[in-house]
Amino acid sequence: MPTIALINQKGGVGKTTSTINLGAGLAMLRKSVLLVDLDPQAHLTYGLGIPAHELEYTVYEVLKGEVTAQEAIVRRDRIEVLPSSLSLSAAEVELSGMAGREFLLKEALAGLPTRDFVLLDCPPSLGLLTLNALTAAQEVFIPLQAEFLALQGMSKLIDTVNVVKRRLNPDLTISGIIGTQFDARKNLNREVVEKIREYFADKLFETLIHDNVSLAEAPSYGQTIFEYRPDCRGAQDYLALSREAAARR
Ligand code: ADP
Ligand code: MG
């Protein structure tokens, strides 16, 4: 099943915003989409208006093997969500002693009927949850904020992907870099994007996601950008990104 992990150990770079709105954009293009929230902060889950604290089952119970992924999946219009909640914060420790601990998500997703896209929203660390995403995925998208020090930490991230590729998941590739929170008026932003392009060449999506306040507001209404402000710049950007991502395969 085409599975993409959105990773960056930095917080605030747009992983969750991109997972939600790329997922929603792909759904608008009539793709079947499953979003998996692997962050104990459950921003993706709440951002889609799903009350994480009221859920009977989340990805945590799935990883522990207590329920199947299908039992925990919530359908939200045209998107399906495997939600998270704060209880997932125990997972890094609780699951660390399990045999095959890096493969728990891969096994859980293997039983599902196939979807066009599965997007994995990762926590801001390179711990066990992110490792589970990297073994379950074939591809990695890295959201990068076009600001000073955007590339700092990149070699650690790439090392981690390469170690996983060598030892656990030979199919894994970094296939897309998403430039986020871009402000064309700022020279620095443009320079940083040029640096990212030099470093990653054609892996950088042509579509840059502009800094757009509606993207920051939508989650507090539990809405995707297409529901909240379908005509705003953020919606245009994420639809263009979705078209590019769909066309790349
Ligand atoms: P991460 O998941 O990497 O920690 P988020 O997607 O949660 O990052 O984004 C961090 C913050 O920045 C959030 O408050 C989000 O609403 C806001 N944000 C993300 N992308 C944009 C954007 N393009 N324009 C404006 N605000 C954004
Ligand atoms: Mg996040």
Q: Which of 15, 16, 17 to mutate to test the pocket of ligand 1 (most atoms within 8 A of CB)?
A: 17
List the residue whose alpha carbon is closest to atom 5 of ligand 1: 14
- Average confidence score pLDDT of the chain: 95
Q: How far apart are CA 144 and CA 18, in angstroms?
A: 11
Mean pLDDT, range 55-80, rounded to an integer:
97
List the residue whose alpha carbon is closest to atom 6 of ligand 1: 14
Q: How many CB atoms neighbour CB 94 within 10 A?
A: 16
CA of 187 to the centre of ligand 1 (A): 21
pLDDT band at residue 244 using 50, 70 and 90 as cut-offs = very high
Q: How many residues does the chain have?
A: 249
Ligand 1 pocket, Cβ-based, cut-off 6 angstroms: 11-17, 43, 124, 180-181, 209, 211-212, 215-216
- Candidates 11, 83, 90; CA nearest to 53 is 83
214-234: per-residue pLDDT in tens? 999 999 999 999 999 999 999
Name the 3-class secondary structure at 140: strand
List the residue whose alpha carbon is closest to atom 17 of ligand 1: 216
According to the model, what pLDDT value does residue 8 have?
A: 97
Architecture in CATH of 3-247 = 3-Layer(aba) Sandwich (3.40)
pLDDT band at residue 110 using 50, 70 and 90 as cut-offs = very high
| pLDDT at residue 88 tops 90 | yes
pLDDT band at residue 150 using 50, 70 and 90 as cut-offs = confident
According to the model, what pLDDT value does residue 27 have?
A: 98
pTM, entire model: 0.97
| pLDDT at residue 151 tops 90 | no
According to the model, what pLDDT value does residue 149 have?
A: 83
CA of 240 to the centre of ligand 2 (A): 21
